[in-house]
Amino acid sequence: MAEEEQDILSAGPEELYEHHRIACDPKQSPVRIDKFIFNRIPNVSRNKIQNAAKAGNILVNDNPVKSNYKVRPSDVVSIVLPNPVHEFEVIPEDIKFEILYEDDDILVVNKEAGIVVHPGHGNYTGTLLNALAYYYKDNINVAPSLVHRIDKDTSGVLLIAKNELAQTRLGKQFFEHSINRKYLALVWGDLKDDEGTITGNIGRNPKNRLQMFVFPEGDQGRHATTHYKVRERFGYVTLVECKLETGRTHQIRAHLKFIGHPLFNDARYGGDQVLKGTTFTKYKQFVLNCFKLIPRQALHAASLGFIHPGTNKEVYFETPLPNDMQEVMEKWGHYTRHKDLFEE
């Protein structure tokens, strides 16, 4: 009898996929791998298994195989499958959203800050998936599915798969961390280096379940790596470009807090306080005015590059900073040019 180790990933984009690893018994009889998997993983359809095979998501001894492969004694089978993210009925709602690109396989949108991506406890309606259900309500051939997610109060590029095969092929890229994702973040403080890499396992904060926490010793959480590069310095705050090597929940927010530079106005991670600067009243009022302009963490998913699931060609999408971040940047630019006005 096969021994199965199932790893349902639970961080960032990867929480949208399940990874199953099955070690075959030394006396395993030859059987087609699609049938073998179907008999061992509950609630998985044959079609989902077939799509996984087409996408190269079924591996035997670390090599991709077709669905007609026959398992052998002591084979180690692994499969990555899409994992539904919502437990609730998605009610179509006429909610406007910005489309950057669309074809038969994918939809790329520019998500506004303040929009939840999918229904969940406390957010049963008003989500992007509700908007997509309405947008595709007359097209029975489209089944829009998330392949990654960004936080409610983060703006920027979001990728949607329009069919199961596209979802499965894109899922493999996210699972293997081959997606090219760049974010722009306004953070507290003047970073010492122009560029660098932050590495530290990320998991739930044991003292605050609403926060993610960096475990630098690697004894808990999941491995996470963020590369950053300074784009513009404003003295007490800095605009940085972050490139994700992994995609853990709140990765950028947790990593930057870990190195002492929380995101500007990130209430969950302490960035909604005056953390750097002077004690002058005018300066404090200036910062509070900036908070009013951007009542969220200053984080924007600026670009996304990946291999198109239909054409197998590399594609790239980007979107400029939203108005609230632009306005805050302009105010900080004005501050750095006229510090004397705020320090008296």
Average pLDDT over residues 165-173: 90
CA 77 to chain centre: 27
Catalytic residue, chosen from 34, 75, 105, 151, is 151
Average pLDDT over residues 38-49: 85
The percentage of the chain sitting over the pLDDT mark of 90, rounded to a whole number, equals 56
Intra-chain end-to-end CA distance of the chain, in Å: 77
Neighbours of 89 (CB within 10 A): 8
pLDDT at 87: 58
Torsion of CA 334, 335, 341, 343, to 10 degrees: 180
* Alpha carbon separation from 109 to 66, 113, 144 (Å, rounded): 33, 12, 12
Rounded Cα–Cα distance for residues 286 and 164 (Å): 49
pLDDT at 118: 83
The 10s digit of each residue's pLDDT in 238-266 is 999 999 998 888 999 999 999 999 999 99
Rounded Cα–Cα distance for residues 204 and 12 (Å): 12
The 10s digit of each residue's pLDDT in 84-111 is 655 567 889 999 999 999 999 999 999 9
Rounded Cα–Cα distance for residues 127 and 100 (Å): 18
The 10s digit of each residue's pLDDT in 261-286 is 999 999 999 999 999 998 889 999 99
pLDDT at 104: 96
Q: 17 with 7: CB under 8 angstroms?
A: no
User: What's the per-residue H, E or C state across 142-153?
Assistant: CCCEECCCCCCC
**Which domains are seen in the chain, by residue range?**
3-82 (3.10.290.10), 85-176 (3.30.2350.10), 181-245+252-302+322-341 (3.30.2350.10)
**Confidence class for position 156, pLDDT limits 50, 70, 90:** very high
Res. 26: pLDDT tops 70: yes
pLDDT at 47: 85
pLDDT at 215: 92
Based on C-alpha coordinates, what's the Rg of the chain? 23
**Confidence class for position 3, pLDDT limits 50, 70, 90:** very low
Q: Which is more confidently placed, 272 or 29? A: 272
pLDDT at 119: 79
The percentage of the chain sitting over the pLDDT mark of 70, rounded to a whole number, equals 92
Average pLDDT over residues 169-189: 92
What value does the mean pLDDT of the chain take? 88
User: The pTM is what?
Assistant: 0.84
pLDDT at 84: 63
* Alpha carbon separation from 138 to 36, 99, 260 (Å, rounded): 37, 18, 50
The answer to whether 94 is a known catalytic residue is no
pLDDT at 6: 32
The 10s digit of each residue's pLDDT in 294-338 is 999 999 999 999 999 999 999 999 999 999 999 999 999 999 887
Average pLDDT over residues 121-141: 89
**Confidence class for position 1, pLDDT limits 50, 70, 90:** very low
pLDDT at 99: 97
Strand locations in the chain, DSSP E? Answer: 3-8, 17-23, 31-32, 58-60, 63-64, 70-71, 76-82, 98-102, 106-111, 145-146, 155-161, 180-188, 195-199, 201-205, 208-215, 225-233, 237-244, 299-307, 314-318
Rounded Cα–Cα distance for residues 86 and 90 (Å): 8
pLDDT at 39: 87
Res. 59: pLDDT tops 50: yes
Res. 183: pLDDT tops 70: yes
